[in-house]
Amino acid sequence: MKTIIRKIEAGERINAEDGLQLLRDADLYQLGFLADMIRKRLHPTPLVTYVIDRNINYTDICISACKFCAFYKSPEDKNGSVLSFDELGEKISETKELGGTQILLQGGLHPDKPFEFYEDMLRFIKGHDIHIHGFSPPEVCHFATLSGLSVTEVLERLRRAGLDSIPGGGAEILSDRVRQECAPRKCSADEWIGVMEEAHNQGMRTTATMMFGHIETLEERFEHLQRVRDLQDRTGGFTAFIPWPFQPDNTVYAGMPKATAFAYLKMLAVSRIFLDNVANIQASWVTQGPKIAQVSLFFGANDFGSTMIEENVVAAAGVSFRLSEDEIRKIVAGAGFIPKQRSMDYTLVAD
Amino acid sequence: MEEYIEKAGLGDILEKVRNQERLSKEDGIRLYKSPDLLAVGYLGNLVRERLNGDNAYFIYNQHINYSNICTNLCKFCAFGKDKSSDKAYEMTVEDVGNKVRERLDEPIFEIHMVGGIHPDLPFQYYLDILREIKSIRPDIHIQAFTCVEIDHLAKLAAKPVDETLRILMEAGLDSIPGGGAEVFSPRIRKLTCEDKLSGEGWLEVAKTAHRLGLKTNATMLYGHVETIEERVLHLAALREAQDETGGFLAFIPLAFHPKNTEMSDLSRTSGMDDLKNIAVARCFLDNFPHIKAYWVMIGPKMAQVALSFGADDVDGTVKEEIITHMAGAETEQAMSINALVGIIKEAGRVPVQRGTLYDVIEKY
């Protein structure tokens, strides 16, 4: 353990085995102090950033049927729906009125909407002059399968239609054993990485997430982190990493114990330590609530994510913390940091 | 890890903590004002470890609030109601008995019973509810009536506090909860609860109880209009009283909940403030055996993390918590033993189910 800590203090990279040992054996303070040190090293100015945006889920109809998801409706379910462009327009206008700079656009894997539908959607949204952070890798792969186009072609056409950046959702755990077990119809770990690599190569920035605390082993969490770090070494295209604990209510895994705050803070800190090439780590207030989110600023997080004017996916799993921009600023300032609004690529928005 | 504490400018306090030297008020103020949450927590955790090792306590208890009718109507309280209010209630002796009967099949070890300062219930009522509980559940430990209520009961009985306590003990009172301390500062009491027993009066009742062999807890309601200095003075007064009598079991910092109070324009406490209050109290109150993170107030997540910031107790299973929930607490009203054991284990501690006096009932 001492050797690992010395390595980290000297600014050297740790390997997955080191990371695993830290997560297993280091105490909360060892992890917190190290993560905090790295955060300060990477972000010497005590800013904590956030973006004003809205999660728009264009449909909840999904053929993937992931066992950890409480949001989707199967195609046979009459309660599933697709947002009309009018509804989209209204949501975007509201977002802009609240000072929003971007839309997080994600949806289920709809069985039969043609690829052109998504291109039209992007062009429609772009007419409102707002940043579109949309279509996670599983959606991109789904579009490729439906249209017979390659991922490269799909991304090029989405970009031409107005897509600005890609959210890191659908990563879950980047391990094929885990994916086979809980989300067999979703894109594979290689495919997820492939979409992100291609997007980065085309000049798009993306984020990466990790949903942990379900059926994965601790080793598999490091398989995930390793893949993210390796890709980041190749492309440098990830702006941020967002680890968040699985919320089991209303899913196939309902009743599975939730990762506790303690487990969250440790995983957050280890992510900050391991991902030495990813600039920003986001706190997950939407799953952890405002108090733990504030505390996470001392465990490696330097970003409060989004104001999420609307959020449906975590809410479907029975967790519904809400925070206004004002509250986020208060929480950040209360922890001794300067709150700053940012855009997707972490450019600061003028006050 | 010591270098991190040095870097945070708290090296001298670390030295004191290591040498088990008492912290000064200035030290307390510096800890509260330090921006380095982890450094402050680390210090609190050192003290916790020395005093309580790996044990983290909880209790299987039942809360009974016999009446919310109150003449004090403190500005920070959402529970107390004027007698004329349509939300006012009072339980008869039989009602209280029924509450106990309802849960006779559960392995409850403590009844935690508090209420408002009622304008006209007679002294006899309080003796009757104690006796009623003991007649139904003779082995139960009754922790009841804050120092503020005890002072009121003494007036009702027209007897000195010690004599009043003796009569209550005879009727079944086993220990006294820590409520009503708020912040002792006369400035704060004038601003928020002018009609309440003074800080000095509260301490006097607690010490009197201790001298009669009654154990009590102590609290501090933080996060409203008090200053850091006023918090530290509050802790200092508790520490001094504990030096005199040694009768306090636990200190419980209580997070102010603004909703439905007269101070509803204030914000809720932050996670940082919750943890600092635990950590500073643990460092400063060197003569208190236990620091409790009351999960009902700060949520199970924060209570779990607080176990690494100085707390060694998360309170209990509760059930039907009313006082904090009327002030907008969004926490559950009860936690199962399994849930409590789970969060404690995950935090690396040994869950210990305790009795009121920290007697070990079961280790998990």
Taking only the tens place, the pLDDT of each residue in B221-232 is 999 999 999 999
CB atoms under 10 Å from CB of A207, counted, come to: 25
Grouping H, G, I as helix, E, B as strand and the rest as coil, residue B45 is helix
Amino acid at B215: K
Mean pLDDT of A27-38: 96
Q: Mean pLDDT score of chain A, rounded to an integer?
A: 95
Hunting for tokens 């009844």 — which residue is that? B111
**What is the mean predicted confidence (pLDDT) over A5-22?**
96
CB spacing of A298 vs B302 below 8 angstroms: no
Could you count the other beta carbons within 10 Å of the beta carbon of residue B157?
Answer: 18
- For residue B235, pLDDT over 70 is answered with yes
Residue of chain A nearest B297, judged by CA positions: A291
- Chain B residues near residue A29 by CB distance under 8 angstroms: 1, 38, 41-42, 45, 308
Within 8 A by CB and 6+ apart from A317, the residues are: A70, A71, A247, A248, A249, A250, A251
Neighbours of B151 (CB within 10 A): 22
The fraction of chain B above a pLDDT of 90, given in percent, is: 90
Burial category of B119 from C-beta neighbours within 10 Å (exposed 0-12, middle 13-18, buried 19 and up): exposed
Nearest to B271 among A30, A294, A336 (CB): A294
pLDDT for A38 equals 97
d(CA B175, CA B130): 12
Interval A259-310: pLDDT, tens: 999 999 999 999 999 999 999 999 999 999 999 999 999 999 999 999 888 8
Interface contact flag, B270 A257, Cβ < 8 Å: no
Query: Cβ(B134)–Cβ(B140) under 8 Å?
Result: yes
Nearest-Å Rg of the Cα atoms of chain B is 20
CA distance A178 to chain B (A): 23
Model confidence pLDDT, tens digit, residues B64-96: 999 999 999 999 999 999 999 999 999 999 999
Kindly determine whether residue A334 and residue B272, on different chains, have CB atoms separated by under 8 Å: yes
What is the pLDDT at residue A322? 82
pLDDT digits (tens, 9 = 90+) for A194-253: 999 999 999 999 999 999 999 999 999 999 999 999 999 999 999 999 999 999 999 999
| Residue type (1 letter), B307 | L
A295–B271 C-beta distance less than 8 A: yes
Which residue pairs from A315-321 have beta carbons closer than 8 angstroms and sit at least 24 positions apart in sequence?
Answer: A316/A70, A316/A71, A316/A250, A317/A70, A317/A71, A317/A247, A317/A248, A317/A249, A317/A250, A317/A251, A318/A70, A318/A247, A318/A249, A318/A250, A319/A247, A319/A249, A319/A286, A319/A287, A321/A285, A321/A286, A321/A287, A321/A288, A321/A289, A321/A290
Quick one: CA dihedral B272, B277, B279, B284, positive or negative?
positive
Q: Would you say residue B331 has pLDDT above 70?
A: no
**Mean local confidence (pLDDT), B337-358:** 94
Domain positions in chain B are 54-363
Cα–Cα distance for residue pair A70/A77, rounded to 1 Å: 14
Q: In this structure, what DSSP letter does residue B24 have? A: P
Q: Which of B275, B346, B349 to mutate to test the interface with A (most CBs of A within 10 A)?
A: B346
* Mean of pLDDT values over A78-102: 94
Q: Which two tokens stand for residue A299?
A: 């465990």
In the predicted structure, residue B330 carries a pLDDT above the cut 70: no
Across the range B41-53, mean pLDDT stands at 98
The whole-number average pLDDT for the span A73-89 is 95
- Residue A247: predicted pLDDT: 93
Do residue B301 and residue A288 have CB atoms under 8 angstroms apart?
yes
pLDDT band, very low/low/confident/very high, at A315 (cuts 50, 70, 90)? confident
Selecting from B1, B38, B305 the residue whose C-beta is nearest the C-beta of A261 gives: B305
The predicted pLDDT at position B318 comes to 66
- Please report where in the chains the tokens 């487990």 appear, as a residue: A263
The per-residue DSSP string of B61-130 comes to EEEEE-B-B-SS--TT-SS-B-TTSTT--B--HHHHHHHHHHTTTS---EEEEE----SS--HHHHHHHH
d(CA B291, CA B249): 9
Q: What are the domain boundaries of chain A?
A: 2-44+53-283
DSSP A178-214: HHHHH-TTSPPHHHHHHHHHHHHHTT-EEEEEEEESS
Sequence-distant (≥ 6) Cβ neighbours of residue A13 within 8 angstroms: A7, A276
Which pLDDT belongs to residue A316?
Answer: 80
Distance between CA atoms of A74 and A87, rounded to whole angstroms? Answer: 22
CA angle B279, B281, B284 (to 5 degrees): 110
Whole-number Å distance between alpha carbons of B158 and B156: 5
- ipTM confidence: 0.91
List strand residue ranges (DSSP E) for chain B, in order: 55-59, 61-65, 110-114, 141-144, 175-176, 215-222, 248-255, 290-291, 313-316, 350-354, 360-363
The pLDDT value given to residue A23: 97
Region B54-363: CATH code: 3.20.20.70
> pLDDT tens digits for A1-10?
999 999 999 9
A129 by DSSP, 3-state: which? coil
Q: At what angle do helices A261-274 and A218-235 cross, to 10 degrees?
A: 30
Stretch B351-361: mean pLDDT: 96
The answer, for A6 touching chain B at a CB cutoff of 8 Å, is no
Percent of chain A with pLDDT over 90: 92
Find chain A residues with C-beta within 8 A of B267's C-beta.
330
Nearest to A33 among B1, B273, B342 (CB): B1
When pLDDT is cut at 50, 70 and 90, the band that residue A350 belongs to is: confident
3-state secondary structure of B149: helix
- Return the pLDDT at B316: 81
- CA distance linking residue A37 with residue A273, whole number of Å: 9
pLDDT for A127-149, tens place per residue? 999 999 999 999 999 999 999 99
Residue pair A208/A278 in contact (Cβ under 8 Å)? The answer is yes
Distance from CA of B106 to the nearest CA of A (A): 23
List the one residue out of B140, B143, B142, B145 whose CA is nearest residue B157: B145
Cβ atoms < 10 Å from Cβ of B357: 12
Q: Convert B342-354 to b/e letters by CB count within 10 Å (16 or more is b).
A: bbbebbebebbbb
Tokens in use for B29?
Answer: 């103020």
- Structure token digits, residue B355: 């009795």
The 10s digit of each residue's pLDDT in B94-137 is: 999 999 999 999 999 999 999 999 999 999 999 999 999 999 99
CATH code for A2-44+53-283?
3.20.20.70
